[in-house]
Amino acid sequence: VEIPTTVYALRSHAFEMTCFKEITIPSTVKEIGDFCFAHSKVEKLTFDCDVIGKDLGEKLCYLASNLKTIIFI
C-alpha cells in the first residue's frame, strides 16, 4: 500500500489488524496516531520522510509480529 501524497495524517488504529504486507508513507504525513499498525500483518514499513519532528503516537507497531524491516528514505 502506498499512501497518497494528499494524506496528511494517519489516525490512531488506522491499519490495526490489516493484512497489508508493505506500507509506504509519504513525506506529507505529519502525524501518525497511536497503535496505527498494531496487530497488523505488515512486514515492511517505508517512511519517505524524516520522522524527526513528526507527531508520532505510542506503540505504533504494537504486536505487529511480522514486521521485519523499517526503512527511512
What's the pLDDT tens digit per position in 44-63? 999 987 766 778 899 999 99
Average pLDDT of the chain is 93
Q: What percent of the chain stands above pLDDT 70?
A: 96
Judge contact between 63 and 40, C-beta under 8 A: no
User: What sign for the dihedral angle of Cα 13, 5, 19, 69?
Assistant: negative
- Which residues share a beta bridge with 10? 32
How many whole angstroms separate alpha carbon 56 and alpha carbon 53?
A: 9
C-alpha span between 34 and 32 (Å, rounded): 7
11-20 residue pLDDT tens: 999 999 999 9
- pLDDT at residue number 9: 95
Identify the H or E element spanning 9.
strand 9-10
Kindly state the average pLDDT of the residues 23-47. Answer: 95
